[in-house]
Structure 1
């Protein structure tokens, strides 16, 4: 199968890491490893493109270049990764129709609330147009599937799940010893968090975690909070953490993804509130390594974590509840052990990357034979 691949939100070799980038890159690499030939149709980034009129002439030129590039490649199908109102796919519907090839969207997102705002309405309409013209749409989340079901015929919509390479995220005793020795963690209980430290909901989530941890830092002198990740908010958050909890919160900076399993292995639990979190690959990775999770019961964490079985979720912005859940897992070793045992089993059952993407590949193979 020859696939023209496009990621309008962020091209898959973008240097700035994120969960979305990991999912898109993983999808691309999986299909390539299965023997399919993929072309990056365009590296145009369409994030907030409807509000950037100065970029529209350049986008028109990119459309013409992409059409030629894809026509020369002669694909069997066009596959767009992640189209939604902020980054609607402006290229795929036009080019696939022009070339008479099937058009598919992986991780389609649709929400009618964005039609009510003049600022978001253009992106909403362009994204809706792309979804309606797709031959097939894959929805990675329960909420997205329910919303898409309102405008997409059942035979054109597949509920799938994102996933991780579970073999890369398992408890590692040597890694635990290495990280505990490196950061002088012997005799400590460790809460680990990981996020991009951007000045948005990411920083807001870390701020809530710091506030929730602060009273525990005074009550339990053996407990520390480690925060992995980097970004423009890091310096401000470090100052705030020092004010709230002294030297009990340590910022690790950016950790290579292939090293993360060592940090998960060295921790006792994972905590990241997840305000407005789409899903959060870190929740899957942490659980696969045997860590119970503490988060808010927003749509992303709620899908990734089984409340009461593999972690504890609390209402969004309810800091006392967030603190109580952290404390419960810190002091209840039996509950922690039970969740540590259940978490990897659930992740391997529902979020194994190879299993989930094989189903996507099968559907793409089916529709790639359609021609117009």
Structure 2
């Protein structure tokens, strides 16, 4: 099958890493590995495009170029990854209609609250149009599936699950020893966190984690918190850390994804609050490496972590509860070991990427066989 692939929010080969980018890239790569021919229809970013009228002429030019490019490719299907109000797909529905090919959205998102704000109304309507036009929509979060079911017919909507390749994230004693020696962590109880350190909910989550860890560090003197990631908020967070926890927190900078398993392996558990977080690949990666998770009970962590079995979740913004959960896993070795054992099994059972995407591929193949 020939597939025109488009990611309105961020091209899948964009250099800035993120969980959404990883999901889109793995979807693309999986379909390619199954023998399908994929073409990146466009690399034009539609993020906040509805609020930037000065960019609309360039969008029209890109539409013409993409139409010509896709027509020459002769696809059986157009597949858009992640359309929502901030980055609605303004290319796929129209080009699919002109070429008479099925149009599908993977990771569709819909929320009516954005129709009540004049700043987001246009993006909301554009995204709603794309969703209603789609021949099929895949939702990989419970809340999205619930919201989409209000406007999408049941036969056109599927609940699917993202995932990871479990073989790439396994506990590695050699890697653990390397990192512990490198960072002088032998004899320490280590918490790992990982996030893009940008000035938004990511930095807010790390700020909450630092606040929660500071009193714990005084009670558990041999505890260390490692924070992997980089961004414009790093310097501010490092200054904040110096005030709250001194040298108990180590900022690692950006770690290559293929090296992360060593850092997971060197830690005793993983912690990232996850304000306004989507599913969060880091939660799956950490659990697959045998790490319990501490986070908020927001939508993303709640779907990725089995509360009480593979991790401890607490209400968003409750620093005291977050701190208590950090302390619990640091001091209760038996609880930590039980969760560490359950965590990889949880990921294998529900978030094995190849199994989950095989179902998606089957539906795409059936849809792609129906040309208009």
Q: In the TM superposition, what is the alpha-carbon distance from 1:62 to its structure 2 partner?
A: 0.2
Q: In the TM superposition, what is the alpha-carbon distance from 1:64 to its structure 2 partner?
A: 0.4
Q: What do residues 117-161 of structure 1 show as CA deviations (whole Å, max 9, x unaligned)? A: 000110000000000000000000011001000000000001000
- Which residue of 2 is the match for residue 194 of structure 1? 194
- Which residue of 2 is the match for residue 222 of structure 1? 222
Q: What do residues 352-372 of structure 1 show as CA deviations (whole Å, max 9, x unaligned)? A: 000001110000000001111
- Which residue of 2 is the match for residue 305 of structure 1? 305
Partner secondary structure for residue 338 of structure 2: helix
Cα distance in structure 2, aligned partners of 1:303 and 1:13: 27
Cα distance in structure 2, aligned partners of 1:220 and 1:33: 48
- Which residue of 1 is the match for residue 204 of structure 2? 204
Partner secondary structure for residue 35 of structure 1: coil
Cα distance in structure 2, aligned partners of 1:13 and 1:254: 17
- Which residue of 1 is the match for residue 36 of structure 2? 36
Cα distance in structure 1, aligned partners of 2:335 and 2:147: 36
Partner secondary structure for residue 104 of structure 1: strand
- Which residue of 2 is the match for residue 361 of structure 1? 361
- Which residue of 2 is the match for residue 27 of structure 1? 27
- Deviating 4+ runs (over 2 angstroms): none
Cα distance in structure 2, aligned partners of 1:297 and 1:280: 13
- Which residue of 1 is the match for residue 123 of structure 2? 123
- Which residue of 1 is the match for residue 274 of structure 2? 274
Cα distance in structure 2, aligned partners of 1:27 and 1:191: 30
Cα distance in structure 1, aligned partners of 2:302 and 2:93: 33
Matches within 5 A, 1:4-19: 4-19=4-19
Cα distance in structure 1, aligned partners of 2:216 and 2:326: 8
Q: In the TM superposition, what is the alpha-carbon distance from 1:92 to its structure 2 partner?
A: 0.4
TM-score, structure 2 as length reference: 1.00
What count of residue pairs does the alignment treat as equivalent?
A: 372
Partner secondary structure for residue 186 of structure 1: coil
Q: What do residues 162-205 of structure 1 show as CA deviations (whole Å, max 9, x unaligned)? A: 00010000100001100000000000000000000000000000
Cα distance in structure 1, aligned partners of 2:130 and 2:40: 19
- Which residue of 1 is the match for residue 351 of structure 2? 351
Q: In the TM superposition, what is the alpha-carbon distance from 1:335 to its structure 2 partner?
A: 0.6
Cα distance in structure 2, aligned partners of 1:194 and 1:296: 15
- Which residue of 2 is the match for residue 262 of structure 1? 262
Partner secondary structure for residue 38 of structure 1: strand
Q: In the TM superposition, what is the alpha-carbon distance from 1:218 to its structure 2 partner?
A: 1.2
Partner secondary structure for residue 300 of structure 1: helix
TM-score, structure 1 as length reference: 1.00
Cα distance in structure 1, aligned partners of 2:233 and 2:164: 28
- Which residue of 1 is the match for residue 86 of structure 2? 86
Structure 1 spans left out of the alignment, 5+ residues: none
Q: In the TM superposition, what is the alpha-carbon distance from 1:112 to its structure 2 partner?
A: 0.4
Cα distance in structure 2, aligned partners of 1:190 and 1:210: 14
Structure 2 spans left out of the alignment, 5+ residues: none
Cα distance in structure 2, aligned partners of 1:371 and 1:266: 52
Q: In the TM superposition, what is the alpha-carbon distance from 1:220 to its structure 2 partner?
A: 1.2
Q: What do residues 215-259 of structure 1 show as CA deviations (whole Å, max 9, x unaligned)? A: 011111100000000000001100100110010000000000011
Q: What do residues 298-329 of structure 1 show as CA deviations (whole Å, max 9, x unaligned)? A: 00000000000000000000000000000011
Cα distance in structure 2, aligned partners of 1:206 and 1:66: 40
Cα distance in structure 2, aligned partners of 1:186 and 1:78: 52
Partner secondary structure for residue 247 of structure 2: coil
Cα distance in structure 2, aligned partners of 1:182 and 1:356: 37
